[in-house]
Amino acid sequence: MNNGKNSQFSITLSSELPSEKFYDNLYDDNKNLDLYSKDCDPVISLGYGNGVNNICKRLVKYLKTKYRPPDKGDFAYNDCILLNYWAYTRLVHIYGSRNSSKIFPAWGKLVYVWNNIISDLPDKFSHNKCKPDDNIVNHVDWEKRKQLYDYCVNYETIKKALSFYDNMCKEYYTYVDSNAPLYTYFKTQCTTPNDKCPEFYNDCEKYDPREVLKNFKCHDVMKKEKEEDAAAHALYVKEVAMRNQENHSEGASSEDYSSDPADIAQGKSQTATKLGDVLLGVVVTFMASGAIYRFTPLGNRLRANFGNKTMLRSNLYGGENVLFDYTSDSLNPYYENMGERYIGYHPT
């Protein structure tokens, strides 16, 4: 999209999608948060307590003032699931994904506050209460689960938009296609009902990218472009491999290795020469990678569609989190407003 002038879409794809709007609204809602400070006293003692406290106050405000049970529909997504993933993601961004010794106690504190809030709600709302997900800490693939649910929440919006805006087809196609690896993964986890399979998986099966993409008007064009991109990528990989092989062959010739005492005195050795060859190969590889971005159909499409934006989180060939990796200042644990912002997903 170009700054909205050539389309009625004046904002980026990510901010058009329901799940992203939900996360953005939670982050941007700074009004009267101090009213919920007392509810969040239990989290103050935690490391990075200020960041966790900000999460807590937004969580409590949402539970008290905004949460509504899902309406019945084709896919009636539940804000409560999004809320759980949002809060847990923020903790992971504050403490770091590998710091479970900090994340688990912090989540326990938030769950404690959360349960206190919903226990004070009138009994008539008991069947509609938004409850914390106690098991989220036990799911090593929680990020994949989150991305799957986000995608399912977003798909109906995409489907409706495509009926009005043909010019958005390629961008939506790329987003939907980027989620295909999730379905490959969860099909292996969900062969039989078990705790490895998300409860919402059955509702999401009908949105499998491998099936729904066939109905996109731009399917044939995108399929051809992917094939061209793959061929161009394979060609550059082959050229890089050949250049590396030539460099190693030249480096292995006897004339490149000197037994001259003068060379030895200057610190030259066969090991150093080989190391130089390896480094040269690395340089060539990076140059080739740059060429792919600048001169191939893949590079052209990336620059045309995304520029410097990193909105999508999986590469075009079904891999995970290589091409569109999203990083923000909030990932820095010393960021001034740490624990605040999260848009989208980064699978592990």
What does the pLDDT look like over 107-165, one tens digit per residue? Answer: 999 999 999 999 887 665 566 789 999 999 999 999 999 999 999 999 999 999 998 88
Which of 29, 24, 86, 78 minimizes the C-alpha distance to 57?
Answer: 29
SS3 state of residue 5: coil
- Check if the beta carbon of residue 346 is closer than 8 Å to that of residue 325: yes
- CA distances, 23 to each of 15, 92, 298 (Å): 10, 15, 30
Domain ranges of the chain: 13-217, 221-305
What does the pLDDT look like over 203-215, one tens digit per residue? Answer: 999 999 999 999 9
Amino acid at 102: K
Q: What is the mean pLDDT of residues 250-268?
A: 53
* pLDDT category of residue 309 using cuts at 50, 70 and 90: very low
* pLDDT category of residue 338 using cuts at 50, 70 and 90: very low
- Check if the beta carbon of residue 194 is closer than 8 Å to that of residue 135: no
pLDDT of 325 over the 50 cut: no
- Check if the beta carbon of residue 309 is closer than 8 Å to that of residue 297: no
In this prediction, residue 171 carries a pLDDT of 92
Using a 10 angstrom Cβ sphere, with 0-12 exposed, 13-18 middle and 19 or more buried, the burial of residue 310 is middle
d(CA 58, CA 50): 13
- Quickly count: other Cβ atoms within 10 Å of residue 1's Cβ: 18
- CA distances, 290 to each of 26, 236, 285, 295, 311 (Å): 38, 10, 9, 8, 20
89 or 312, higher pLDDT: 89
pLDDT of 199 over the 50 cut: yes
- Quickly count: other Cβ atoms within 10 Å of residue 285's Cβ: 16
- Mean of pLDDT over the chain: 75
d(CA 234, CA 238): 6
* pLDDT category of residue 231 using cuts at 50, 70 and 90: confident
Question: Rounded to the nearest 5°, which phi and psi values hold at 314?
Answer: -135, 150
What does the pLDDT look like over 30-88, one tens digit per residue? Answer: 899 999 999 999 999 888 878 999 999 999 999 999 887 766 555 567 899 999 999 99
Residue 68 structure tokens: 């509504």
